[in-house]
């Protein structure tokens, strides 16, 4: 989000995260912004104001909340761990109530809006209403905002400067496909599963077990699925016997001429989604995942493991989407939209 807003021409003052793996990535790429390593539930609004030199009721100030979303996601995850971060939007409320910024942005999974039994989002909407913010919200596909993947997200933008505001208009583009972003024509040389790229390009791919190598070799190029080996008693997975229609993307290859599926924190794993390379026998690499998330190739990621890098990339708001949001808010601020 910080990169996209910066690209739109917005001065990013800083970002808050309690994950120390993010510090080097953030500070190396978001020039001039401060990384505040803090558990947001323990960070007071005055303390944040002091660290980032913020003023209350600043009409040009934008607050952005992109809290971890696994609790609200349809993806199977550790619910105990996810529960701890499920209600961070309530923490975000404290900062909005204290600073009353000119603009607010929230990006999250659709479940934040769809799960009616929880009050976390309605409570936040009531806060906006109480402080005379105008807002718009909705479920968007990042593919309609410059991103070569179908990434369905909940988006809210709000302002207290105007009586009404709208989300940025979607602009579908059929050219936003996997082929347009990765592959040899885009600077990605052919590599094998388990390849380690020691350069900053980070074209590194996870290894595959012998069984998974056999599975992906039998999977058709460009869009093939596990249906190709469902009748092979050595390769078929017991949980999927007779259940070909569930989790059909698992162990699948991406299509060259379609948008990628959602790049999750596990995109480097062939067994966790349609993350097989369209024609090479491996899952997509760290750099390929970042590129499909619209990070520029010179953007470097730092972390203690491949999983740490993949988590940063998969959890990120695609910079192209963030830039569209930023340009839209600048237009609103200057009366152009």
CB 189 within 8 A of CB 203: yes
What CA–CA distance (Å, rounded) separates 174 from 324?
A: 18
In 3D space, the residue among 227, 221, 218 whose CA is nearest the CA of residue 254 turns out to be 221
Q: CA 97, CA 45: separation in Å to the nearest integer?
A: 9
Q: How far is CA 2 from CA 146, 149, 245, in A?
A: 16, 20, 39
Residue among 97, 24, 104, 32 at smallest CA distance from 64: 104
Helix intervals (H) in 155-285? 210-218
If you ran DSSP here, which 8-state letter would residue 74 be given?
S
Please confirm, yes or no, whether 57 is among the known catalytic residues. no
Q: Is 242 left (phi over 0), alpha (psi -120 to 50) or beta?
A: left
The catalytic residue among 22, 57, 66, 69 is: 69
Q: Residue 294: beta bridge partners?
A: none
Q: Are 121 and 112 in contact (CB under 8 A)?
A: yes
Question: Which sequence positions are flagged as catalytic?
Answer: 69
């Amino acid at each position: 989000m910080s990169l996209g807003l910066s690209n739109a021409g917005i001065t990013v003052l800083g970002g808050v995260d309690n994950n120390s793996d993010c510090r080097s990535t953030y500070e190396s790429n978001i020039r001039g912004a401060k990384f505040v390593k803090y558990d947001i539930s323990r960070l007071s609004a005055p303390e944040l104001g002091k660290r980032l030199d913020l003023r209350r009721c600043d009409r040009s100030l934008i607050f952005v909340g992109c809290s971890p979303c696994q609790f609200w996601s349809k993806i199977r995850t550790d619910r105990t761990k996810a529960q701890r971060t499920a209600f961070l939007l309530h923490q975000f409320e404290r900062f909005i109530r204290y600073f009353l910024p000119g603009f607010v942005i929230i990006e999250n999974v659709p479940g934040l809006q769809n799960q009616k039994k929880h009050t976390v989002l309605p409570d936040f909407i009531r806060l906006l209403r109480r402080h005379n913010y105008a807002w718009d919200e909705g479920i968007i596909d990042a593919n309609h905002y410059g991103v070569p993947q179908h990434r369905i997200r909940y988006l809210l933008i709000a302002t207290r400067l105007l009586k009404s505001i709208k989300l940025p208009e979607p602009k579908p583009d059929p050219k936003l496909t996997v082929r347009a972003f990765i592959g040899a024509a885009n600077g990605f040389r052919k590599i094998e599963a388990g390849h380690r790229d020691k350069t900053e390009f980070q074209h590194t791919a996870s290894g595959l077990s012998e069984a998974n190598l056999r599975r992906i070799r039998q999977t058709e190029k460009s869009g093939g699925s596990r249906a190709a080996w469902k009748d092979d008693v050595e390769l078929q997975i017991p949980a999927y016997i007779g259940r070909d229609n569930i989790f059909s993307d698992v162990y699948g290859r991406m299509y060259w001429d379609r948008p990628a599926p959602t790049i999750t924190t596990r995109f480097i794993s062939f067994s966790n989604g349609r993350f097989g390379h369209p024609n090479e026998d491996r899952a997509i690499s760290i750099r390929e995942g970042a590129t499909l998330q619209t990070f520029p190739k010179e953007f470097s990621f730092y972390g203690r493991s491949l999983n740490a890098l993949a988590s940063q990339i998969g959890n990120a708001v695609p910079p192209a989407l963030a830039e569209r949001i930023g340009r839209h808010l600048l237009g609103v601020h200057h009366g152009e939209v």
